[in-house]
Amino acid sequence: MAKLNGFTNEVRRLPRDRNPPYRADQLDTDLLRVLAASEIPLSAYEIATRLRESVRHVMAVSIYRSLHRLCAEQRVERVEMVSGFRIKDAPASVLAICAQCGRTVSVTVASEHAAIERAIAAIGFVVGKVALEASGICSKCRK
């Protein structure tokens, strides 16, 4: 074993029997379950914490890969205002986000989405994603 500046070139391996690899489809299923159980959008780190409490330890990079895949499949959406993720329950919608409790509600506005995409395309801009979000106070918090 050679030493260089006090460090060795010895490779230390973690035991492989601790946790078998987390298959992508199983992670997607567990991630969707965590998001469905939450009333508010969750960050990747919050998802990792909840998975750690209920299932097993998962690296944040694996969570981000799964979120990317699920967003591409239109099963999950990013809530830009709060930097979180939620189950996508309606296409072409505005997300109403409560500033007090953090809950989100989808309001379908398909014609408005299409109009925005047409207006942007008219100036030669290629639309990748339209995110319409509104912040306010929900009816439960106003009571």
What are the structural domains, with CATH classification, of the chain? 20-88 (1.10.10.10), 89-143 (3.30.1490.190)
pLDDT at 57: 82
> Is 22:56 a contact under the CB 8 Å cutoff?
yes
**Residue 19 pLDDT:** 60
What the block records as the tokens of 8 is 């060795």
Identity at 12, one-letter amino acid code: R
Residues marked as binding?
Answer: 98, 101, 138, 141
Q: Tell me, what's the pLDDT at 123?
A: 97
Residue-level pLDDT, tens digit, the chain, 143 residues: 555 556 555 655 555 555 667 788 999 999 999 999 999 999 999 999 999 888 778 888 999 999 999 999 999 999 999 999 999 999 999 999 999 999 999 999 999 999 999 999 999 998 888 899 999 999 999 98
pLDDT of residue 40: 98
Cα–Cα dist 33/44, whole Å: 14
The pTM score is: 0.81
- Token digits of residue 85: 């993720």
DSSP state of 23: -
Looking at residue 24, its pLDDT comes to: 86
The greatest distance separating any two alpha carbons of the chain, rounded to the nearest whole angstrom, comes to 70
Q: Cα–Cα distance between 96 and 8 in angstroms, integer?
A: 56
Binding positions for Zn(2+): 98, 101, 138, 141
Give the separation between CA 93 and CA 119, rounded to whole angstroms: 17
User: What are the residues whose beta carbons fall under 8 Å from the beta carbon of 50, sequence distance 6 or more?
Assistant: 34, 38, 42
